[in-house]
Amino acid sequence: MKGNGFFKRACTTDRRRVRAILLAVLAAALLGGCASLTGVMVSQPEVPEDPAAAAEALSVIAKLQQANRALKTFKGVGRLTVRQAGKVQVDERMAWVGAPPLKLSVVLFAASFPALRMAGDGEWLYYQDGQEPGAPVKRIRASDPDFKRILSIPIQASDIIALMCGKMPIKEHTQATIQPLASGQGYVLLLMDGRSVRQKIFFDDAKSETRQTEVYDSWGKLVFQANFLEMQVVGGYRVPSRLVVSHGKDATVQVLVEKYWADVPVTPEMFVLAVPPG
């Protein structure tokens, strides 16, 4: 039927439009070099020394590190939405498989077809435009790659994996303390490098539940904020069902989890994209 030809052309046009957006985002990732530190250091308030609070902070950190520690692998399917300056740039289905601390494989779909494939094995980052037959696989040597030029947020693979495991990433620090929030509702764990606050992790009044963290660079500027908006229990683990990562008002990434599997069998090949033969 003639209508079939029109339908096929329409579907092809839609896929090409989505693919063009995805490739534009990826192109920015591939062509950009390492970003340099710029800007003026943001002044931070003095954090008073409190030995009791420091000791409590160490205890709280230990509990955070134990959360879902037995979770060795995971996989899932859901939807990825990326917004820049309030405008939706990507809104597509996604599938993933991961193994802490650094192994992650992601497939992003467009019009139900694989559009982009990315994988990291803790040594290399692989990527491929999946819609082209025999598309080349490219790779960058990176043990813990930064996804800034893909997600518009400078978040590392280890941070993403920790969050998808239902854990708060713990950034390197030299000292820590815990304080009540000025609002009087809840507490904040401060991880510091010298006098600079490198991370804030927010707790409820009982200091038993945390759903938000903020990570800062050495200049005191916000790197990213992560929020567990909705949680679920899978296989005895408390993991996210809706996760949002943002960089101020500039960029927001939401992962809506539709299905989540814990402690699934994985092989090393899952985190490597093979080069097509020929």
**Has residue 38 got a pLDDT over 80?**
no
263, part of any domain: yes
Residue 225: strand, helix, or coil: strand
Q: CA geometry: angle at 150 spanning 237 and 111, to 5°?
A: 80
Rounded distance between C-alpha atoms, residue 24 and residue 4, angstroms: 30
276, part of any domain: no
- Which has more pLDDT, 133 or 156? 156
Are 139 and 124 spatial neighbours (Cβ–Cβ below 8 Å)? yes
211, part of any domain: yes
18, part of any domain: yes
- The pLDDT value recorded for residue 275 is 66
Mean pLDDT, the chain, rounded, equals: 84
Classify burial at 252, counting beta carbons within 10 Å of its beta carbon; exposed 0-12, middle 13-18, buried 19 or more: buried
Rounded distance between C-alpha atoms, residue 22 and residue 110, angstroms: 9
This prediction has a pTM of 0.81
Are 188 and 181 spatial neighbours (Cβ–Cβ below 8 Å)? yes
173, part of any domain: yes
Min mean pLDDT across 35-39, 96-100, 224-228, 233-237 is at 35-39
Residue 25: strand, helix, or coil: helix
Rounded distance between C-alpha atoms, residue 213 and residue 228, angstroms: 9
**Has residue 210 got a pLDDT over 50?**
yes
Per DSSP, the chain holds a count of helices (H) and strands (E) of 4, 13
Residue pLDDT, tens place only, 67-126: 999 999 999 999 999 999 889 999 999 999 999 999 999 999 987 778 888 999 999 999
- Which has more pLDDT, 7 or 237? 237
Could you give the number of structural domains in the chain? 1
- Which has more pLDDT, 151 or 86? 86
42, part of any domain: no
- The pLDDT value recorded for residue 116 is 86
Cβ atoms within 10 Å of 35's Cβ, excluding its own: 10
| Most confident stretch, 10-24, 189-203, 264-278 | 189-203
Give the H/E segment covering residue 22: helix 2-31
**Has residue 40 got a pLDDT over 60?**
no
**Has residue 47 got a pLDDT over 70?**
no
Of the chain, the percentage scoring pLDDT greater than 70 comes to 79
| Most confident stretch, 49-53, 131-135, 254-258 | 254-258
Domain range for 203 is 2-32+49-271
**Has residue 139 got a pLDDT over 80?**
yes
| Most confident stretch, 14-28, 123-137, 146-160, 258-272 | 258-272
CATH label of the domain that carries residue 58 = 2.50.20.10
My answer on whether omega of the bond before 133 falls inside 30° of 0, hence cis, is no
37, part of any domain: no
40, part of any domain: no
Are 201 and 64 spatial neighbours (Cβ–Cβ below 8 Å)? yes
Are 126 and 272 spatial neighbours (Cβ–Cβ below 8 Å)? yes
